[in-house]
Homo-oligomer: A and B are copies of this chain.
Amino acid sequence: MPTTGLIVCSTRSPRAGLQISTFIHETIKHAHPQASITVIDLAEWSLPLYNEPGIPSRITSAEGYMHEHTKAWSREISRYDSFIFVTPQYNWGYPASLKNAIDYLFNEWKGKPAMVVSYGGHGGGKAAAQLQQVLQGLRMVPLESTVGLTFPEKEIMARAAMGEDLGLGGEGGFWAGEKEEIQRLFGELVGVVEKSS
């Protein structure tokens, strides 16, 4: 089974991103019990705003970076065969926390398949589309489809922003219907990795 890094892209405090990522993780494990998925929480990584002197595309090993945080991040991302990005939408785009984590590296991402799940008042589709373009710029292999998780009401979106429990465990609450699409896309992701290896 290929290894997958599931990246929690929101680093806000409070945030909804971690419980949404857990929902996605559990949804996938339910359909693909053998899946090898590791959660990578950008809030725990706390990367500072890009502060390397070099250009990532010209650096081919962790030792080529100046800072310890970059070397560790390079080693982490090098470990996985594929990625799932779980991202909020801020002002019709991806969050700085995600773009910063991406731009620190290049060859560690290159050539690897990726799946995008976005969330927001309208499902975060604009952030997903911008992110897909960035993944292409990185020479990754994004799946054609993305999953957009829409908060069903303004009041739930407000609760999400406050980091309150959205009841996504078990049956999946208001996103029960989206589980099948998440499972299907993960199957596609694994297929792309296996075909390319």
Contacts and interface: CB of A to CB of B under 8 A. Distances in A.
Interface of A: 11-14, 46-51, 53, 55, 90-97, 99-100, 102-103, 106, 126, 130, 133-134, 136-138, 161
B95 A50 contact: yes
B102 A99 contact: no
A48 B102 CA distance: 17
The majority secondary structure among interface residues of chain A is loop
A17 to B, nearest CB: 13
Contacts of A53: 13-14
A163 to B, nearest CB: 9
20 contacts: A11-B49, A13-B51, A46-B49, A47-B49, A49-B49, A49-B96, A91-B102, A91-B103, A91-B134, A93-B99, A93-B134, A93-B137, A94-B99, A96-B96, A96-B97, A96-B100, A100-B100, A126-B137, A130-B130, A130-B133
Closest 5 A/B residue pairs (Cβ): A92-B137, A96-B100, A91-B137, A96-B99, A96-B96
B49 A91 contact: no
A53 B15 CA distance: 9
Given A90-B99, A96-B100, A126-B133, 17 more contacts: A13-B51, A14-B53, A47-B49, A49-B96, A49-B97, A50-B96, A91-B134, A91-B138, A92-B133, A92-B134, A93-B130, A93-B133, A93-B134, A95-B103, A99-B99, A100-B100, A130-B130
Contacts of A130: 93, 130, 133
Contacts of A97: 49-50, 96
A48 B47 CA distance: 10
